[in-house]
Structure 1
Amino acid sequence: MSIGIPQIRAFIAVSDTASFSAAAAQLGISQSAVSHAIASLERATGRQVLIRGNPVRPTLLGERLLVHARMVMASMTSMEDLAHHHDSGLRGNLVLAAPPTVCHGLLPGLLDRWRVEFPGISISLFEGDDDEVTGWLTGASADLAVVVDPAGTPPGAVLLAEDRFHAVLRTDHPLAESGAVDVTDLEDDPFLLSLGGCERHIQELQRSSGARLNAVHRVRQLGTLFAMVRAGIGVSIVPGLAAGMEGPDLVLVPLVQRISRELILTGPRNRPWHPATGALLASVEQQRAA
């Protein structure tokens, strides 16, 4: 027995919603139809792909199949949109994944420009840390993504921005009004290490400057990090695109050491790009060249 698109579509919907009833509502079909589709998929594979419960979740085999299922549906969507594009212009529903600071500092303007330039393209945003973003793009949950300092990029990828790192200080810190802060001047302060992708840049800062930062806390969420700096628990270093997220009584000051991260807008490496993805990236490239 072969595996068909209806089974794949139902399997993804149940996996994403963790519920047969929610999957049925999402797909606009009956719960019985969803159940029959999953049963048909399990007959085809000869094994159970979902653990029935509350919530419903994939089995180990299901987790492995889900990666390929998403790729199949992404390719199907691209084929449908490409066929439609042949007669009526670029259309499609795309998912864009990016880190939080990029979502805050760059994407509002970019999405607004794309909305005007490509009215037939709808874009949904997935926000996550660097590893999550890469995983979503590889696993076909996202059609394009902003990745940080990738080791090589596929043809068509574009440099979206270079983001310089800054020190985060309270406004009453002795260095708060400096034009720039040397990393070595932060050695006497308790240091809050920002996770989610900044670690390797901060390590490089320490190597290049010879500074010894006293990391007393490791913090993943920027909101928590800024709250801890505001409370006087320590200082930190974050990307410049975080400016505006820090809230009151804090300031971002450029570092003397000019270290930055490259933000690359790209489609996936492991499958063909949605036809609209290339157009979006070409628009960015033209804008940068103008």
Structure 2
Amino acid sequence: MTLNLPQLRAFLAVVDAGGFSAAAAELGMSQSAVSHAVASLERELAAPLLIRAHPVRTTALGERVLPHARMALSAVRSVEQIAADATGTMTGTVRLAATPTVCQGLVPGLLRHWREDQPRITVRVFEGDSGEVAAWLEDGTADAAVLIDPPPAAARAFPHADPGIQLATDEYRALLPRDHPLADEPGVDLRDLEDDPLLISPNGCEDRVRTLHRRAGLRFAPTHRVRDLATLIRMVQAGIGVTVLSEVSRSLIPADLVLLPLKPQTSRRLVLTGPQTRPWHPALRTLAESAAGHLAPTTARPAEGRPLPSGTR
């Protein structure tokens, strides 16, 4: 039996992209070449790995092969890192997952910086909710993620895992129409918004806003739950209610709204990290170091006060 890396790379690309055509675009190959590589792998294993449907799915054997294929390519990347360290260059494609707020408020600036600072590294962005982002990082769909408040328990379970880089401490703010009676204040107390209809996004923010209400001694009773951030902002513009957003959203706020400091105060940590249970993509270490140098020293630092991952400074 003779397996090779192009076969495994094609197999993983089809699984991650959900089809042969998308995988071909991802790899910069023809669709027929990707189909041939996967078919030759299946011939070597004497069994199908994929159910050719829309989207493509793995067979039972394919599901068992998948993590080993990811580990094989991860080992190759580690070898590439050794060579890159020796020559002072780094190339590759890093798949980065993040939530919509982070994608819209923080990631564009990072992408622009990385494009200028590390032009040989390509970053592809995947947007999802907090649960999807964590799952993509765990199963290998993403090589990296900006996680929100990653739990310390992960570090205890995998004491040798890289902690990642804290990109920002993201404080929560009140979002109000500019004609709101409190819009000209330097800050706003949550208790002063008790009579305003509350709009909320039913993702990670809801738990924090619920906690804020509990700390303020208020009943948490949102009038509307809105998943899409743009819809949430438009509803505040329309005077339907007020909401609570994080500081990273500021660049998205139109001129007829204000984002004000909020009491009680609370914040979240935004951490750029790789997987806990597998080696990092070699290029991610370079991106993490680059991000740490680009962002303010008070915001970009090793997560949980621990050293930068090996290979970064």
Deviations, residues 170-199 of structure 1 (Å, cap 9, x unaligned)? 222222222211112222222111133212
Preserved CA contact (<8 Å) 1:164 1:239: yes
Deviation at 1:165, TM superposition (A): 0.6
1:242 corresponds, among 234, 249, 265, to 249
Is residue 9 of structure 1 aligned with residue 16 of structure 2?
A: no
Deviation at 1:147, TM superposition (A): 1.0
TM-aligned CA distance change 1:182 to 1:80, over 3 Å: same
Structure 1 gaps, min length 5: none
Match of 1:108 in 2: 108
Preserved CA contact (<8 Å) 1:71 1:140: no
User: Which amino acid in 2 is paired with 1:56?
Assistant: V
How many angstroms apart in 1 are the aligned matches of 2:32 and 2:40?
Answer: 12
SS at match of 2:72: helix
Is residue 251 of structure 1 aligned with residue 261 of structure 2?
A: no
Match of 1:89 in 2: 89
TM-aligned CA distance change 1:148 to 1:54, over 3 Å: closer
How many angstroms apart in 2 are the aligned matches of 1:187 and 1:143?
Answer: 42
How many angstroms apart in 2 are the aligned matches of 1:289 and 1:25?
Answer: 38
How many angstroms apart in 2 are the aligned matches of 1:112 and 1:32?
Answer: 34
How many angstroms apart in 1 are the aligned matches of 2:281 and 2:22?
Answer: 27
Preserved CA contact (<8 Å) 1:164 1:259: yes
TM-aligned CA distance change 1:289 to 1:254, over 3 Å: closer
Deviation at 1:124, TM superposition (A): 2.4
Deviations, residues 46-77 of structure 1 (Å, cap 9, x unaligned)? 65432223443334654564455344334433
Which has the higher mean CA deviation after the structures are superposed, 236-245 or 209-218? 209-218
TM-score (norm 2): 0.78
Match of 2:136 in 1: 136
Which has the higher mean CA deviation after the structures are superposed, 150-159 or 45-54? 45-54
Preserved CA contact (<8 Å) 1:81 1:91: no
Structure 2 gaps, min length 5: 156-160, 299-313
Deviation at 1:169, TM superposition (A): 1.6
Is residue 201 of structure 1 aligned with residue 204 of structure 2?
A: no
Preserved CA contact (<8 Å) 1:156 1:281: no
Deviation at 1:17, TM superposition (A): 4.1
SS at match of 2:188: coil
Match of 1:219 in 2: 226
TM-aligned CA distance change 1:74 to 1:142, over 3 Å: farther
How many angstroms apart in 1 are the aligned matches of 2:284 and 2:32?
Answer: 36
How many angstroms apart in 2 are the aligned matches of 1:155 and 1:21?
Answer: 35
TM-score (norm 1): 0.84
How many angstroms apart in 2 are the aligned matches of 1:53 and 1:284?
Answer: 40
How many angstroms apart in 1 are the aligned matches of 2:194 and 2:266?
Answer: 18
Which has the higher mean CA deviation after the structures are superposed, 145-154 or 62-71? 62-71
Deviations, residues 232-279 of structure 1 (Å, cap 9, x unaligned)? 322211111111313253221211211111112222211112333233
Aligned residue pairs total 290
TM-aligned CA distance change 1:22 to 1:256, over 3 Å: closer
CA RMSD of aligned residues (A): 2.9
User: Which amino acid in 2 is paired with 1:229?
Assistant: V
Is residue 49 of structure 1 aligned with residue 49 of structure 2?
A: yes
Preserved CA contact (<8 Å) 1:179 1:253: yes
How many angstroms apart in 1 are the aligned matches of 2:60 and 2:193?
Answer: 47
User: Which amino acid in 2 is paired with 1:87?
Assistant: T
Preserved CA contact (<8 Å) 2:162 2:274: no
